[in-house]
Structure 1
Amino acid sequence: MRIRWSALRRVVAATVVLTLPVPAYACRPRLAPPGAPTPWPTAYARQWQWQWQLTAPVDVTVDADVFLLDAVRVTAEETTALRVRDRRLVCHVPVGTYADTDPDAGRFPPAVRGSAVRGTGGTDRPARWLDVRRWDLLAPVLADRFRLCRGKGFGAVALVDADGYAQRTGFPLNFDDQLLFNRRVATLARSLDLSPGLVDDVGQVAALAPDFDFAVSRDCVRLRRCAKLLPFVDAGKPVFHVEFTGDPAVFCVTTLGYGFASIRKSPELDAERQPCRLP
């Protein structure tokens, strides 16, 4: 009796599928390959441990799942060392400011350069605000900042200085100007296969939570605004929180109750950290 080759191939293929070994996964969910956006499984939203370091060299031995790092200062060797250990890499990208020390500072025309930033939120970067209404002028520069992140192996970006409407920028920015800009930047990040995260801008969290994959919050306990980040938690998205003052034994009770991943850091954002231990 003849057996058709097409039927035989189907039988062999089915047998191979059934006999392939099932991979054994570690406690941490596996990281996507370079060039793909970082996944944030909702089942782990309350379980991440994280690190925020903007100084160099990066301490790649820190016991954390997520590393928020400066794209310019970190080396490709350091990001590779973290990726081979399945650490998630988030790129610290100022989107609403520039500094004269930035490698791309000369690409911002005078028309978009505003007032000096008051209080740099834990960094030593002497920054100035940008006119976020001029998307035509800012988009190409921001796209290249994101491409630098991708080139060094990052799969996510944290959008820093995305709340100029609430600051003294030197421009008449309003709520809707900022909302449109932040959504545009999130869309730009996704178009380059990067997972977007919102840094602070708590006044717009309720509107922006659907557009971002995670949030980063500074001093929400001290400023008494942690509750405003709950739209991320309710959606199963991680909130990475840092306090620059206070006793972790005190504020961890609050932030773990909210479901945040919390740490205590020095304003220099060096390698030292005090994490809130998960129960």
Structure 2
Amino acid sequence: MTRPGGIRPAGTRPGRRSRPAAALVPLLLLLLLAGCAHAPDDPAPHAERWLPKPGVAWQWQLSGRLDPAVDVSVYDIDGFDQSAEAVADLHRRGRKVICYLSTGAWEDWRPDAEKFPRELIGRGNGWDGEQWLDIRRTEELEPLMAARIDMCRQKGFDAVEPDNMDGYKNRTGFPLTAADQLRYNRLIARLAHDRGLSVGLKNDLDQIPELVGEYDFAVNEQCAEHDECAELTPFVRAGKAVFHVEYELETAEFCPEARRLRLSSMLKKYELGAWRRPC
């Protein structure tokens, strides 16, 4: 999601005399140089991207009719399912909006599903219609993911939540390594940043030390259930939010520790509808 640039045509202004031709040459050179810096085909400079701070309240809704009235600062919603109008409505309500995308798994119901070569699609990841991607194949995947992130930008989102970013620790059908995952996750961060969007690291706890400097926030599921929440502290120390959910624990079981660690935590149901119980 590029604004065209360009320069005003050279010429005289009404009410002013034309410059002598000799004096006009340096001016034309300057204008041409400026045109090269901001040519119509180049992206215009982006405004400083949004950087959420630790502890900010959020809502994560990926199913059901979107409820825009939750009193939080941040919404995380599906990039394909939600419209530019929904994003604009949330902005009018004072929210920042994160675009949920799956970047590490193929989903058979997405409108771009047929664009993925079959050889890139591996084992199922445990969710209906989803299969891991061969993230080593960045030459094929980069344009597909760039198009998805372009969609987020065009709809007005502030950030991207790329999901399924830890395939190397799962049975994907491909011999993925930690180095493969780092390379791919850095690619996704670059694609988002090149488009002026913030980007969050989804799970992938073991690679936080290598990636905390390249991601603007983290999104985590069930770190309390697995006694892993302390591993997210590099983000908090860097002044970056950690958006965290639990599904199986009661709030009394994880909220005290989450508050101590300055996580943005809540209890959700697995379908990620509108229901939430924040810490």
**TM-score interval, smaller chain:** 0.7 to 0.9
Which residue of 1 is the match for residue 150 of structure 2? Answer: 147
Larger radius of gyration: 2
One-letter amino acid of the counterpart of residue 167, structure 1: N
Match of 1:261 among 254, 258, 264: 264
Query: Which residue in 2 is equivalent to 1:74?
Result: 82
Aligned-residue RMSD, C-alpha: 1.3
CA shift for structure 1 position 36: 4.7
Task: Answer yes or no: is the 8 Å Cα contact 1:68–1:89 preserved in 2.
Answer: yes
**Cα distance change, pair 37–240 in 1 and its aligned pair in 2 (3 A):** farther
Residue identity opposite 1:52 in structure 2: W
Q: 2:50 aligns with which of 28, 35, 39?
A: 39
CA distance in 1, matches of 2:116, 2:209: 31
Partner in structure 2 of residue 239 of structure 1: 242
Cα distance in 2 for partners of 1:172, 1:111 equals 14
Q: Partner residue of 2:24?
A: none
Q: What is the 5 A alignment of 1:4-83?
A: 36=47, 38-40=49-51, 45-83=53-91
Distance 1:126 1:241 in 2: 25
Equivalent runs, 1:45-194 vs 2, <5 Å: 45-118=53-126, 120=127, 126-194=129-197
- The alpha-carbon deviation at position 141 of structure 1 amounts to 0.7
Q: Relative to structure 1, is the Cα distance of residues 36 and 73 closer, same or farther in structure 2, using a 3 angstrom cutoff? A: farther
Amino acid at match of 1:194: L
In structure 2, distance between residues paired with 1:148 and 1:230: 31
What TM-score do you get using the length of structure 2 for normalisation? 0.81
1:206 aligns with 2:214: no
Partner SS state of residue 245, structure 1: coil
CA offset digits 1:152-196 (Å, max 9, x no partner): 110100111010000000000000010011001101111111111
Aligned pair in 2 of structure 1 residues 130, 36: CA closer, same or farther (>3 Å)? farther
Superposed CA deviations along residues 25-67 of structure 1, whole A, max 9, x for unmatched, are xxxxxxxxxx7564226xxx23310000001421000111110
Q: Report the TM-score, using the length of structure 1 for normalisation.
A: 0.81
- SS of match in other structure, 1:67: strand
3-state secondary structure, aligned to 1:240 = strand
Matched, 1:222 2:225: yes
Q: Distance in 2 between matches of 1:75 and 1:167?
A: 32
> Which one-letter code corresponds to 1:96 in the other structure?
G
Asked whether the equivalents of residues 50 and 197 of structure 2 are also in contact (C-alpha less than 8 Å), the reply is no
Q: 1:37 to 1:243 in 2, by over 3 A?
A: farther
**Mapped contact 1:36–1:155 kept (Cα < 8 A):** no
Question: Which letter does structure 1 place at the counterpart of 2:66?
Answer: V
The aligned amino acid for 2:84 is A
Looking at structure 2, the residues matched to 174 and 264 of structure 1 have their Cα atoms a distance apart, in angstroms, of 32
For 1:113-137, what per-residue CA distance to the aligned partner results, in whole angstroms no more than 9, with x for missing partners?
A: 111002x4xxxx5210001011110
Residue 114 of structure 1 aligns to a residue whose secondary structure is: strand
- Equivalent position amino acid for 2:278 in 1: P
